[in-house]
Amino acid sequence: MLIITGCRRGEIMGLHWSDIDWDTNQICVRRNLLYTAKTGIYEDSTKTRTTRYVKLPLESMQVLRAYKAWYEELRDAVGDRWNYTPYVFVRDDGNPLNPDSISGWLKGFETRHGLVDVHAHKFRHSMASILINQGTDIVAVSKRLGHATVSTTTDIYSHIIKEADAKSAECIADAYLRRPTKAM
């Protein structure tokens, strides 16, 4: 979900089942789940205090459907010990997960597989970089990320935008200035 949506980890952890539109294959990002030692786990608005809709590919929706089936089996198995919350991603008793648990899981994954610096926010940056490199309109990328302004996106990803522009120059040259080579 992190790399497909580009959402922040707290936004993913704050998803409610009612935020998933199964008919249009999108999620509504309207809250952020946070944690402090003093308060515990709590809900807040998104970083920019806006609501956005993020379209998901069919494959991701299929994974969500399979996860929902597993979730319902877990809920039924736990029975009266289940704590009903609206959250999609929960502990094995239905209570919300601490958003920091994503970081802990990724750290363990990193250690098990000999990787370095696997952080949740890097999935967000990877998604944005892929979209920009594939020629996706920067306004669309900015909206998907939930940035307050497009200039935030262009400032953060200026190096990727420059690389994409260089690729565009080669594409134009291929189309107008270079002769196609014949395959043998």
Q: What is the pLDDT of residues 62-110, one digit of tens each?
A: 999 999 999 999 999 999 999 999 999 999 999 999 999 999 999 999 9
Q: What is the reported pLDDT for 162?
A: 84
3-state secondary structure of 165: helix
Query: Given a cut of 70, is residue 184 above it in pLDDT?
Result: no
Query: Strands 26-29, 20-21: parallel, antiparallel or unpaired by DSSP?
Result: antiparallel
- Buried-exposed string 35-60: b where 16+ CB fall within 10 A, e elsewhere: beeeeebebeebeeeeebebebeeeb
Rounded CA-CA distance 27/45 in Å is 16
Q: What is the reported pLDDT for 182?
A: 72
Containing 20, the helix (H) or strand (E) segment is strand 20-21
Q: At what angle do helices 138-145 and 120-133 cross, to 10 degrees?
A: 160
Question: Mean pLDDT of all residues in the chain?
Answer: 93
pTM for this prediction: 0.83
54: pLDDT confidence band, cut at 50, 70 and 90? very high
**Tokens, residue 53:** 């809709």
**Residue 65: what residue type?**
R
